[in-house]
Amino acid sequence: MVIENTKKAMRIWIRNLISTIALVTLLIILYMLRIFENPILGIGQFEVTIVLAIIYLYLVLLPIVLGYQFVYLSDEDRVFHVKYFNMGFLPGRRKSFEFPLQEFQKYDVDTSFFKLRKSITIYRKVKKGIAKYPALSISAFNESQQKQILSFLDKLARS
């Protein structure tokens, strides 16, 4: 079984690209054509620039604040594969780990930031005890995908 959020990662990347191009284009038009040079109803170039910057920062920083990550989970060939990286304006380093399915021990689910951030921590049996992997954010997945991930991990924990 393979679970991933490639479509969401691509949408966020495209949204960041389009919003950056739109901001630069609008600022060039605003200042080169001298639109709002003389304030209209108290709204001038500075105010329009501030509003555009706030909208841009909201669009770009939202995935970072919510801790969105691209996550790929797979149990093919009796090996548990995980690939992940942070989504946002500048994606983080790509990381991965894998181990045999029989070494899967358990997982924990953590929520934070008013239950908007949800993450899972995976534990593995090793010779010296139990190894804990870094938390994987599943906030970028929709509710049904999150339930699918948790049932997938429940199945692994039972076997």
Q: What is the pLDDT of residue 138?
A: 94
Query: In the predicted model, what is the mean pLDDT of the chain?
Result: 90
Residue 151 contacts residue 138 (beta carbons within 8 Å):
no
Instruction: Write out the H or E segment, with its range, that includes residue 116.
Output: none
Q: Is the pTM of this model over 0.85?
A: no
What residue numbers bound the domain in which 69 lies?
1-159
pLDDT per residue as tens digits for the range 11-67: 999 999 999 999 999 999 988 888 777 777 778 888 999 999 999 999 999 998 998
Give residue 22's pLDDT: 96
Mean pLDDT over residues 126-139, rounded? Answer: 94
The total number of structural domains in the chain stands at 1
CB 82 within 8 A of CB 122: yes
Q: Which residues of 31-48 are buried (b: 16+ CB within 10 A; e: fewer)?
A: eeeeebeeeeeeeebeeb
